[in-house]
Structure 1
Amino acid sequence: MDNKLNAMNIVIEYLRNGLQSNEWPVDSKIPSEHELCQKLNVSRSNVRNALSQLNTLGVLKTVHGKGTFVRSTNLSVLGLGQTSHELLEKALPFFEFRRMLEPEICYYAANKASENDLDILNFTLQMMIQYNDQPLKRVSYDTQFHLQLAKLTQNPYAFNTLSNILLENHLLLQSVSESVGSYNGIYYHSLIIKDLKDRNAKKARSSMYEHLDKTICELSNKL
């Protein structure tokens, strides 16, 4: 698993456990960035990324010069409980942007994928299946699949753009996965691997579009 994702998962899991156990009730202050870095042995950028996402999702609120406080203990955004209407509304434009971007990434990846690249993609798929009942790990391997496709384009702008939006919205992805389930991802990832193996760039583009479009439709139906 990617080191950045693994480190961020450590921070997220620690914060989720603290919120779930009510170690930090609403309006209480959580440990500082420095304390979290020391306790979890992760970099400050990993901590800040996790805190930023929890701020965006309305769970935490960081006040400059004072620290980070618990704003809500609604754990639906952390993959526990039902996904909120507000969160679904945030997810729609995120997936719409991905639908604009990733089908073309898939098209170019299909023309450049080697046998080793296909093995890596298949490994991430098998890990998604293996960790089907562990959303945090499943979503991490789901993310790795999409990033590997971007890497195959050999275009740094494609990879950096996708990497930034996926890592910065990791918790959102987890919550959406809890809401719509894992079948969509597992099914379409297997199709995309076959398309790449067949060197069928147009079909790979179509499969990725359908993959993201189906997620958008499922989210829209829940609003």
Structure 2
Amino acid sequence: MKYSSWNSVASYLVENIKKKIENGEYGEGSKLPSEKMLSEEYSVGRSSVREALKMLQAENLIEIVKGKGSFVLSTDARSKGIDQWYHSKKEVFRDLVEIRVALECLAVKKAAVKVTDDVIEKLISINQAYEATSATDITTRLEYDEAFHRLIVKTANMVLLEDIYNRFESAYTEYRIKGFVLTKYFEKAAEGHRQIIRAFQNRDEKSAEQLMYEHIYEVVDDIEKILEITK
């Protein structure tokens, strides 16, 4: 089994389980195989299975019920679930956004004066791959988006910041995926990445910091506008 340089084992599992849901092998309301069974079927670790199931839940394809397992959502539940989920977790979402802004604006400011041409080329390559990925392949686009932001944090070269960010990222992932699904933010994100890259090329730390702030809040504004409509 081969994975691309950016795709994770979890991404591979997500795409395979999605296909089985789409072709009816896992029908609406049906229970997915257990973590242990999926781990054995794909010869992967249970941590990768858990990550994949969380991503599928974040995309509103399944529901994980503690102590019972994972169940495929009906088409109706998928269409209604995302906005209801955001309404129920609005305060937590806002807190997470503020934490993300604090971490990433500091990271991009520090990275702007340390970035090398090699890192800039990697950021360009990641963003191009992001844009080339099908809009329906949310999992892969998410991975490219995360890779872009993770490389900026790494380039800041602050060990404690990177450690905090890595811990935070797992908590924010579900919100990030649902933001992508709910707002169709893909195209705006690519343009935001390009603007940040240009600031890096100019070694302009103030511009990079402001652009990161705007980049994060752009999707937040879109989400909140949609939530106002769905109230």
TM-score by length of 1: 0.82
Match of 1:88? 86
- Is it true that 1:199 corresponds to 2:203 in the alignment? yes
- Letter aligned with residue 188 of structure 2: N
| 3-state secondary structure, aligned to 1:84 | helix
* Structure 1 position 197, deviation (Å): 1.3
Could you tell me which of 176, 196, 199 is aligned with 1:173?
A: 176
Task: Give the whole-Å Cα distance in 2 for the aligned partners of 1:74 and 1:173.
Answer: 21
1:55–1:62 Cα contact (<8 Å) kept: no
**1:189 aligned to 2:193?**
yes
8 Å contact from structure 2 (residues 32, 72) kept in 1: no
> Aligned partners of 1:107 and 1:76: how far apart in 2?
42
Q: Report the Cα distance in structure 2 between the residues aligned to 1:97 and 1:20, rounded to whole angstroms.
A: 36
Q: Residue 62 of structure 1 is aligned with which of 62, 66, 70?
A: 66
Equivalent residues in 2 for 1:1-223, closer than 5 Å: 6-25=8-27, 28-52=30-54, 59-63=63-67, 68-70=69-71, 72-73=73-74, 84-89=82-87, 90=89, 92-93=93-94, 94-133=96-135, 134-180=137-183, 181-223=185-227
Q: Which runs of 5+ in 1 are unaligned?
A: none
Partners of 2:110 and 2:77 in 1: CA distance: 36
What is the aligned-residue RMSD (CA, Å)? 2.8
Aligned partner of residue 114 in structure 2, secondary structure: coil
Q: Distance in 2 between matches of 1:121 and 1:132?
A: 19
Counterpart Cα distance in 1 of 2:128 and 2:77:
27
- Tell me the distance in 2 between the aligned counterparts of 1:111 and 1:195: 10
Secondary structure, in 3 states, of the residue corresponding to 1:59? strand
Query: What's the offset of the Cα at 1:10?
Result: 1.6
1:67-116 residue CA offsets vs partner (Å, 9 max, x unmatched): 51417335886xxx577212334473343331232111110111211111
Q: Does the CA contact (< 8 Å) of 1:12 and 1:50 recur in 2?
A: yes
Q: Secondary structure at the match of 1:157?
A: helix
Question: Which deviates more, 199-208 or 86-95?
Answer: 86-95
- Which range is displaced more, 85-94 or 125-134? 85-94
1:106–1:149 contact (8 Å) kept in structure 2? yes
Q: How many residues align?
A: 216
* Percent of paired sites with the same residue: 20
Q: Is the Cα contact below 8 Å between 1:54 and 1:60 reproduced in 2?
A: no
| Pairwise CA distance, 1:163 | 2.8
Cα deviation for residue 41 of structure 1 reads 3.1
CA distance in 1, matches of 2:80, 2:188: 19
Determine helix, strand or coil for the equivalent of 2:66.
strand
Deviations 1:4-51 (A, max 9, x none): x52111222233333444434566432122221222232221112233
Letter of the aligned partner of 1:159 in structure 2?
E
CA–CA distance in structure 1, aligned partners of residues 164 and 43 of structure 2: 27
TM-score scaled by structure 2?
0.79
- Work out the CA distance in 2 between the residues paired with 1:21 and 1:166: 32
8 Å contact kept, 2:13–2:52:
yes
2: CA distance, partners of 1:44 / 1:13: 17
